[in-house]
Amino acid sequence: MWKAGVTFEGNVIKAANRHLHIVLSDPYISEKGESVVLVYMSSYKGTCRTEEDSCILNVGDHPYIKNRSYLAYSECREVPVAVLDNELQQRTIKLEESLSREILVKALEGMQKSKYVTRKLKSKTSKLLFDLTE
């Protein structure tokens, strides 16, 4: 269920506001058990020091998007699938429409360009990006 391109609204990474979260990897085994890479989307205002233009999304790229938005790669995290399953069961997150293949590729390319994402997390998505663009 938790595969690359799945999106949900919630507070898994950042508790301050509800954001659209995007799963950027298929599940893999980590020291935390089965995990995925997550990032969230936020409105792009061009005023925050961690806002970056590695992946800007516009109205029409996904039904959830109401304003020009960016993927907050500075908050990109590895999250255990068990945490997501629990959040879904508790109804603290709400599944949304999955990303199109085109937008998933754009998100993965942005992740590879971002100066905020660790090599470890980039390595969890690089093969998927290669497979999607071949």
Q: Among 25, 15, 17, 78, which Cα is nearest to 43's?
A: 17
Given the candidates 3.30.420, 3.40.50, 2.30.30, 2.60.40, the CATH classification of the domain at 7-133 is 2.30.30
Task: Kindly provide the residue ranges of all beta strands, DSSP E only, lying in 25-75, ordered along the sequence.
Answer: 28-30, 33-43, 56-57, 69-71
Domain ranges in the chain are 7-133
Give tens-digit pLDDT for 42-77: 888 876 666 678 899 999 999 999 999 999 999 999
User: Between the CA of residue 47 and those of 9, 30, 50, 53, what are the distances in Å?
Assistant: 24, 35, 9, 12
**SS3 at position 79:** strand
Q: How much is the average pLDDT of 92-108?
A: 96
Maximum alpha-carbon separation in the chain: 39
Give tens-digit pLDDT for 29-43: 999 999 999 999 988
User: Between the CA of residue 26 and those of 20, 37, 73, 109, 125, what are the distances in Å?
Assistant: 18, 8, 17, 16, 8
Q: What is the pLDDT of residue 63?
A: 95
Q: What is the pTM of this model?
A: 0.92
Tokens in use for 115?
């100066």
